[in-house]
């Protein structure tokens, strides 16, 4: 982050960056999930060079960051940096009968998101995988237990068997997001803790998902 957001100069830079309608629209789009520059370009109908200018301005102000896709390394995803944006994010709500968290194997990230959601929101939730593993990763069970959540009875499920019409679909990994057909869903670009395998990696994924769940649960109401 290039600017200390708690400083007067940092706060002024954030407000200046958000003072342009197109940049404020970018923040609105990223408030619920991550997007690639190509996805943002399609959403905004904006020339790539102009979009790049707006993204650089927001990045310099500490409003967003970028990371490479874990699936297609040619692709990157843009995420909001929520530090310093308290009270500035849009308050729009989504109505959905159920939230369905999806990742490739349904062995860690989507399981944790589902468990966290059940603790945070009365809106029903479930999880599934595009290629479900044989079982939930031990590291996911351990980090869930450390935070007072129980994954002992959970098993990976196939997306086609779990999905229902009307679900709010949240892809919590790049691979599932890029594999699924284009549709109206949210995407959280959370690094795969199973690939690293350390307790620290699972703790980092848990913390990132917990922050996302807290933010989204305040915006989703039962249909």
In contact, 188 and 172? CB cutoff 8 Å: yes
- Is residue 127 a contact partner of residue 102, using CB atoms and an 8 Å limit? yes
Bridging pattern class, strands 76-80 and 64-68: antiparallel
Residue 129 in contact with residue 107, Cβ under 8 Å?
yes
3-class DSSP state of 124: coil
| Residue 130: both structure tokens together | 């595009």
d(CA 126, CA 107): 13
- What is the average pLDDT score of the chain? 92
pLDDT at 83: 73
Phi, psi of 175 (to 5 degrees): -65, -45
Least trusted range by pLDDT, from 100-114, 155-169, 179-193: 179-193
d(CA 52, CA 69): 18
Q: Which has the minimum average pLDDT: 24-28, 52-56, 172-176, 202-206?
A: 24-28
| Closest C-alpha to 113, from 5, 216, 199, 23 | 216
Give the mean model confidence (pLDDT) for residues 193-216.
Answer: 96
Instruction: Locate 81 and state its tokens.
Output: 């940096």
Sort residue 62 into left (φ over 0), alpha (ψ -120 to 50) or beta: left
Is the pLDDT score of 84 beyond 50?
Answer: yes
What value does the mean pLDDT take over residues 94-121? 97
Domains of the chain, start order: 8-80 (1.10.10.10), 94-222 (3.40.50.2300)
Q: What is the pLDDT of residue 3?
A: 39
Choose from 9-18, 26-35, 121-130 the range with maximum mean pLDDT.
Answer: 121-130
More confident residue, 5 or 213: 213
DSSP-derived secondary structure for 134-171: SS--HHHHHHHHHTT---TT----BHHHH--TT-EEEE
Percent of the chain whose pLDDT exceeds 90: 78
What's the pLDDT at 184? Answer: 82
The pLDDT of residue 171 is above 50:
yes
Q: Is 222 helix (H, G, I), strand (E, B) or coil?
A: strand
Residue 149 has a pLDDT of: 97
């Amino acid at each position: 982050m290039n600017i200390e957001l708690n400083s007067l100069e940092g706060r002024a830079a954030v407000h200046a960056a958000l003072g342009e309608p197109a940049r404020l629209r970018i923040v609105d789009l990223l408030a619920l999930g991550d997007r690639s520059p190509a996805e943002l370009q399609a959403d905004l109908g904006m020339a790539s060079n102009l979009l790049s200018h707006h993204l650089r301005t927001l990045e310099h102000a500490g409003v967003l960051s970028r990371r490479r896709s874990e699936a297609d390394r040619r692709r990157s995803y843009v995420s909001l940096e929520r530090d310093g944006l308290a009270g500035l994010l849009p308050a729009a709500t989504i109505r959905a009968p159920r939230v369905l968290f999806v990742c490739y194997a349904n062995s860690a990230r989507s399981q944790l998101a589902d468990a966290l959601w059940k603790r945070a929101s009365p809106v029903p939730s479930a999880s599934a995988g595009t290629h479900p593993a044989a079982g939930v990763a031990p590291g996911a069970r351990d980090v869930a237990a450390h935070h007072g959540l129980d994954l002992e009875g959970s098993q990976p499920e196939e997306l086609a068997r779990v999905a229902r019409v009307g679900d709010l679909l949240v892809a919590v990994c790049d691979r599932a997001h890029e594999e699924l057909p284009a549709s109206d869903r949210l995407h959280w670009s959370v690094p795969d803790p199973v690939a690293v395998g350390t307790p620290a990696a699972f703790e980092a994924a848990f913390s990132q998902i917990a922050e996302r769940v807290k933010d989204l649960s305040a915006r989703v109401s039962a249909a």
